Structure 1
């Protein structure tokens, strides 16, 4: 069976056919659905689980394996082979009780890597206490990103923590035609140029001898404060 072949959607308690390198995504709303879709596009085998039959039907056209079942039911998850897949993403957001009990069920089953979406700091602490290895705050992360974008000249912004962020900005005029090594941005702002995107959308990782062309964009790395101060100066 090829990766694009469809299989019937199994009923609750049915057995997912793939184990080993797959990922279980529980909760196929906006967040979980996007995670599942991207994983599928990257070539990973995904077992999608949701309690709502409409979502199961919707995602049966995208994912090879979609199941309608109660994700807090440890027995059902075991029968589906969830522990064998090794990795699980809990995308349940609004129903905190279901989110917490699902993470607990996954932990009890010995799932090796559990990623869980949290809607608040307290929710995240509970998920960690229940056994989640990675807690994600998508709303907070997006809010932080938008705040940086609307108050600076950055075109894109990603932060991993207070000590490391990445930002894309238009190349300042005083950099155009010069090499990255001549820019002295590290000395002036503490940021490092890690990439250059030309006007034709070609991207190159920056070396000291890389010349910054006209109408290009650069990607810089540094702390959130350093990146923001550099963007404000462009």
Structure 2
């Protein structure tokens, strides 16, 4: 019988380096129970008072994984980065155990493809993704940028003069620029949904969605 994930607030995090450690602390702060695992005793000790549980184990060993109850988790994160063999072996063992939701960190796209091929359900490339995000922010006028998937992104920018004082429904931004304004924020207020009747004002911050190139071009408008 498949493990239920709806009410399960437990996560297994393997690898307590910068990414795994930061992720674990954030999960605990949001009310999750985290079992942190690493083969470095000093690293495990440093998280002993922060995480729900922290143990030393060789996660490339099937028996060691079973002893810590890895097969009982519905969610697991393989945050091992620099040791590719350990990352791949650990992920493979979790797949064989039937863990239904496995997230694995990759150091490059080739590593990521291997993790996907052996059965990881989600692959993240934190260094690559952050580098790409910063590059977009440095090279243009966007205030923030998130790529949802390949060639589709959300961009945070200031409303350009072209749409100020006009109903979004009348501005033709989707037809002209290929983007959709999904949210808007006025000075001193919180973000709210944008509708066809929304009229942007000078100084408003907007979030737009669309193909990456379209979002970038729109953010360059003055």
SS at match of 2:146: strand
Question: Offset of 1:190 from its aligned partner?
Answer: 0.8
State the 1:42 CA deviation.
Answer: 2.2
Instruction: Note if contact 1:21-1:86 (Cα within 8 Å) is conserved in structure 2.
Output: no
Deviation beyond 4 Å, 4+ runs, structure 1:
none
After superposition, where does 1:157-196 map in structure 2 within 5 Å?
157-196=145-184
Could you tell me which residue of structure 2 aligns to residue 118 of structure 1? 106
Distance 1:47 1:201 in 2: 39
TM value normalised by structure 2: 0.90
Summarize the alignment of residues 1-234 of structure 1 with structure 2, pairs less than 5 Å apart.
Answer: 20-234=8-222
Relative to 1, partners in 2 of residues 1:46 and 1:201: Cα closer, same or farther, differing over 3 Å? farther
The size of the alignment, in residue pairs, is 216
Alignment partner of 1:233: what SS? coil
The runs of 5 or more residues in structure 1 that have no matched partner are: 1-18
Give me the whole-angstrom Cα distance separating, in 1, the residues matched to 2:110 and 2:151.
24
* Cα distance, 1:35–1:84 mapped onto 2, change above 3 Å: same
Unaligned runs of 5+ in 2: 1-6
Deviation per CA, 1:95-123: give whole Å up to 9, x if none.
Answer: 11111111112112211111111112221
CA distance in 2, matches of 1:179, 1:26: 50
Q: Cα gap change, 1:166/1:66 in structure 2, threshold over 3 Å: closer, same or farther?
A: same
When normalised by structure 1's length, the TM-score is: 0.85
